A = this chain, B = another copy of it.
Amino acid sequence: MTVNQHVSDKVSKIEPLLTEWRRDLHQFPELGWCEYQTTAYIVEKLTPLSFQLFLGKEVSDSVSRMGLPTEEEDQWHLDRARKNGVPLELLEKMKGSHTGVVAQLDTGKPGKHMAFRFDIDALPIHETPDAEHAPVREQFASRHDGQMHACGHDGHTSIGLGVAHLLHDLKDELTGVYTLIFQPAEEGVRGAQSIVEKGWLDQADLFLAGHIMDQPVGTIVPGISSSLATSKYNVTFSGVSSHAGASPETGQNALFAAATAATQLYGIARHSAGATRMNVGKLIAGNGRNIIADTAYMEIETRGETNELNEYVSTKALTILKASADMHGVQVTSELVGKGISAQSDEIWSEIISSSVQGSKYVKHVSSSFEKIGGSEDATFMMERVQAKGGLATYLLYGSNLSAAHHNPAFDYGEGVLSIAVDTLIHIVLNQQT
């Protein structure tokens, strides 16, 4: 029996489980740093296997976590998880936004240390109630009102569980070490750096992260390098309110400062070295129609094709924010709540992946061309660390038919992608055996 046959048999056996896990996860989406129930679910599924599990403060470096929820929001999610049956002892370990799991299988035999990243968080989006939407039709739509797995991380998590099961199953044939990182808070690029800072990538020889993407079914695209470096800031302006009719001159207008900043931020000069981006995605200011506004809040992000380009935009943005505040006599503070860097996939590693999946029953095509994403990813922090330590890293796409764009209330994907992804990763693993 060929390796291909060997793997495809095993993959086909867990196909029903991949779907079941994904549908379970889809029903209880949780926002970044609040994945209490999701983490517990992963733990439950991995506990019977031969992995050592790391939880809570073992997963991430506390102070390197970015864009944490408020204490109130965190508590609200934790309470919900408790009501949904998550055991108290697990919650105790995770409380304070220490979500996520690292699962490690050490074969005890010399070999490569391979690390995989699976992101597990969901989005603050109301899932469409449209009867045509598969999760509605098949009755696994989100039960968490206003929250939704609209970026496929339910699938990524399911793929991770599938890989874990097959690694467990194949463990006697394997050499080296396998680290599966179930990462919280990828949305907003908030979580990866804290895991990197905890040292989880320092020993990895080979690193892989992947994403379900709108490509032909059966196609995989290894070697993606196009994600933009990005910084996310929450910006708060504090002024002085006054009655807009009786004493407009005594106010220090935070709304005016924020509106000024918004119009100016979009005007940051383009850069000849490559693409940049600037967005003010949210602006909330003022208390009442007849009051000079004393508060304003903005959520902004900068991006750049390279870290330098992102830095260029960020630096200009902070200058503009400060000057806009000065202009209107108000105070401004900018909190960095998310950060992604640009990273290059290693070409040689992509080629190894290509040849690993030759003859696979699931993977029909390996594509090397891919249009730029324009998005950002914090798996890049992991890639950068692995490469800095001498390892190889790459970012994969798994093709699937999407019913709507990522982050859309009607987002969904063909579940066939789950077994294709597991098959891909296991092929790669087996190819690396000494």
Binding site for B on A (CB under 8 A): 124, 188, 228, 230, 232, 243-249, 251, 253, 255-256, 258-260, 262-264, 266-267, 269-273, 275-293, 296, 299-301, 303, 312, 319-320, 322-324, 326-327, 329, 372-376, 405, 407
Contacts and interface: CB of A to CB of B under 8 A. Distances in A.
A275 B284 CA distance: 29
26 contacts: A232-B289, A244-B277, A244-B281, A246-B373, A249-B312, A255-B262, A255-B281, A256-B280, A260-B264, A264-B327, A275-B275, A279-B291, A279-B292, A281-B287, A281-B288, A281-B290, A282-B289, A283-B283, A283-B286, A289-B299, A290-B375, A319-B326, A319-B329, A322-B326, A323-B327, A326-B326
A230 B245 CA distance: 9
Given A124-B288, A259-B263, A282-B287, 14 more contacts: A188-B289, A244-B301, A246-B375, A249-B272, A259-B260, A260-B263, A263-B263, A264-B267, A270-B276, A272-B275, A279-B289, A282-B289, A286-B299, A326-B326
B284 A289 contact: no
Contacts of A299: 286, 288-289
Nearest to A309: B249
- Most B C-beta atoms less than 10 A away, residue of A269, A287, A291: A269
A311 to B, nearest CB: 12
Contacts of A286: 280-283, 299
Nearest to A291: B281
A277 B245 contact: yes
A303 B405 CA distance: 30
A70 B312 CA distance: 40
Given A269-B251, A272-B246, A293 B282 contact: yes
Contact of A264 (B263, B296, B373): B263
A121 B397 CA distance: 53
A264 B299 CA distance: 21
Dominant SS at the A interface?
A: mixed
Contacts of A312: 249
A326 B279 CA distance: 20
A312 B191 CA distance: 37
- Most B C-beta atoms less than 10 A away, residue of A276, A277, A281, A312: A281
A272 B274 CA distance: 11
Contacts of A248: 269-272, 277, 279
A75 B188 CA distance: 37
Which 4 residue pairs across A and B have the least CB separation, nearest first? A246-B374, A244-B279, A266-B267, A323-B327
Contacts of A260: 259, 263-264
A283 B284 contact: yes
Contacts of A273: 249
Contacts of A322: 326
A322 to B, nearest CB: 7
A308 B385 CA distance: 40
Contacts of A324: 323, 327
Contacts of A272: 246-249, 275, 372, 374
A228 to B, nearest CB: 6
A406 B288 CA distance: 14
A364 to B, nearest CB: 26
Contacts of A269: 248-249, 251, 253, 266, 292
A262 to B, nearest CB: 4
